[in-house]
Amino acid sequence: MTKLLTIISFSFLLVACEPSRFEVTELVETSPKRTVLKVGTLYGSQTYLNSDQGESGFDYEMAAKFAAYLDVPLEMVPYTHRQQLFAALRNDEIDIVAAAITTTQNRREQFLLGPALYEVNQVLIYKTGTQKPRDLDNLNGDIYVISESAAVDTLTSLQQSHPKLKWQQVYDKDNEELFSLVAKGELLYTVADSKSLRINQRYLPELRGSIVLDDKTDVVWLLRPNGSDRLMGSLLSFWHQQKRNGTLEHLNEKYFGHVKRFDYVDTRAFIRAIDNVLPEYQALFEKHAGDLDWRKVAAAGYQESHWNPKARSPTGVRGMMMLTQPTASSVGVDNRLDAEQSIRGGAIYLQKMIDRLPASIPDSQRIWFALASYNVGLGHVEDARKIAQGMGKDPSAWRDVKEVLPLLQQRKYYQHTRYGYARGNEAVHYVENIRRYYDTLVWVDSQNKQLELMQQQAENDTTGQAKTSANDDKNPEDIVKSAAQ
């Protein structure tokens, strides 16, 4: 207890001062030769991904900010199993575990736990179309969970009051693989945190959550129990700073704010459209996206027309990107029903919206403001930003402005704005839908690229085997002569 109070007191002292800058030998006291902050993680949509678009993930972004705070380089070290991850921390191979890890009594006994990053519920997962679990004493089969996951501790505790409860630990798969097996019907149940479920429902809409096994559990980072006092002090100070300046709230909104709503029918339809419709137009989205991520333009196109180049609306908008006639003319489109012209025009117009936004809006959020403007008009978005500012909110943060946009439908607010009434609620749903479609496209794109690499590797292996087989039929002198030529 005395040690903990010392750490906390030290951290609050740091909060009152400018952020400390440590020499590497001070950062990790038992590893004076280390020259980077090494953060261990697990692959996952909410933790860490490394794609052609760069590194991403809640834990990655927080780790990058923490490394910058300490003024040392960051090295993310992804592991495939929790056992490897925890062993690496115990063996001083990494400084921190940042992998959407929840608090358990077992982890409190083994490691130092950082401050809470966000809260989750642990829920029992099953497949839609099968019987919904309502009673832990009468399940139709075993629960499969990742070894050394928080679910093991939770189920062990619940077994005291539910003696029939059975589960099996899986050592060679991760959470997303278990999700996939449940979605296919190959496993009946698994356990996961509520945020991970919502994210994965965008790719596997068959997944459902049922019984809440543990609610409001903190997600934290882990540090070694010995030799991490100074690092923990710095982490606490950093956490207070990020909480004060809104970074934690922003990252929570960025990675989890748009997945609260889930529509099974819409998600299934979108995944079918990716398979059956998108291949015809993907090259056009890639060609005309310009500086934008083509998948965001494609997601907007699906929201507008479900990728129907002949779409028409009673309000006068037309085509794949549903352009008005004046907008089409302003971006050089003379045939709105031509798929390529519409995609090119929509991308140009969206980029114009981004360029017209105030410089105070961060680059990472400009696309969401631009999409809202695409839907409801830039003037109404500016009205919402002014209302947000008047309410003490951040007019340059999408998480705040999306809360205010629906107020443009209420007279007491819109009567004092420049552009008046607007369906702000629709604009919010419009943007959040596009964000979900984009998440799904990123996941599918990543899966396709992995498949291509595997196929290429298989082809290379086959070619190599064929060459070896051909050489086996030759005598050694012929092989030498062939190589020389």
Q: How far apart are the first and last CA of the chain?
A: 76
Residue type for 40, please?
Answer: G
> Is residue 74 within a helix (H) or strand (E), and if so which, with residue range?
strand 74-79
Catalytic residue, chosen from 61, 148, 176, 304, is: 304
Q: Residues 376, 285: one domain? A: yes
Residue 451 located in a structural domain:
no
Q: Residues 132, 211: one domain? A: yes
For position 428, which CATH number holds?
A: 1.10.530.10
Residue 411 located in a structural domain:
yes
* Angle, CA of 58, 60 and 64, to the nearest 5°: 120
Per DSSP, the three-state class of 59 is: helix
* Angle, CA of 434, 439 and 441, to the nearest 5°: 90
Burial of 337 (C-beta count, 10 Å sphere; 0-12/13-18/19+): middle
7: closest CA among 310, 236, 306, 323? 236
Q: Residues 50, 171: one domain? A: no
Q: Are 149 and 85 in contact (CB under 8 A)?
A: no
Residue 233, token pair as written in the block: 């002090």
CB atoms near residue 59 (< 10 Å): 27
Q: Are 45 and 81 in contact (CB under 8 A)?
A: no
DSSP bridge pairs for 190: 125, 144
Q: Residues 312, 427: one domain? A: yes
Range of the domain at 364: 264-434
Q: Residues 402, 412: one domain? A: yes
**Catalytic residue at 177?**
no
Domains held by the chain: number: 3
Q: Residues 6, 37: one domain? A: yes
Q: Residues 111, 200: one domain? A: no
Q: What is the pLDDT of residue 103?
A: 92
Residue 374 located in a structural domain:
yes
Q: What is the pLDDT of residue 51?
A: 64
Q: Please tell me the distance from the alpha carbon of residue 232 to that of residue 163, in angstroms, as a whole number.
A: 39
Per-residue pLDDT tens digits of the chain, which is 485 residues long: 444 444 444 444 444 444 443 443 344 444 445 578 999 999 887 888 776 567 888 999 999 999 999 999 999 999 888 889 999 999 999 999 999 999 998 899 999 999 999 999 999 999 999 999 989 988 988 899 988 889 999 999 999 999 989 999 998 888 888 998 999 999 999 999 998 898 888 778 899 999 999 988 999 999 999 888 899 999 999 999 999 988 888 888 878 876 666 677 788 889 999 999 999 999 999 999 999 999 999 999 999 999 999 998 877 889 999 999 999 999 999 999 999 999 999 999 999 999 999 999 999 899 999 999 998 999 999 999 999 999 999 999 999 999 999 999 888 898 899 999 888 988 998 999 999 999 899 888 877 777 777 777 777 777 666 655 555 555 544 433 333 33
Q: Residues 79, 12: one domain? A: yes
Q: Are 85 and 99 in contact (CB under 8 A)?
A: yes
Per DSSP, the three-state class of 139 is: coil
CA dist 481 → 54, 444, 471, 473, 477 (Å)? 47, 48, 12, 15, 6
Of the CA atoms within 13 Å of residue 410, those in its CB half-sphere come to 9
Last residue of one domain, picked from the residues 237, 256, 275: 256
Q: Residues 171, 230: one domain? A: no
Q: What is the pLDDT of residue 3?
A: 44
Residue 237 located in a structural domain:
yes
Residue 213, token pair as written in the block: 């096994």
Q: Please tell me the distance from the alpha carbon of residue 300 to that of residue 281, in angstroms, as a whole number.
A: 13
Residue 460 located in a structural domain:
no
Q: Residues 296, 399: one domain? A: yes
Residue 466 located in a structural domain:
no
Per DSSP, the three-state class of 277 is: coil
Q: Residues 273, 411: one domain? A: yes
Q: Are 217 and 103 in contact (CB under 8 A)?
A: yes
Residue 301 located in a structural domain:
yes
Last residue of one domain, picked from the residues 231, 256, 281: 256
Residue 89 located in a structural domain:
yes
Q: Residues 293, 371: one domain? A: yes
Last residue of one domain, picked from the residues 201, 233, 256: 256
For position 170, which CATH number holds?
A: 3.40.190.10
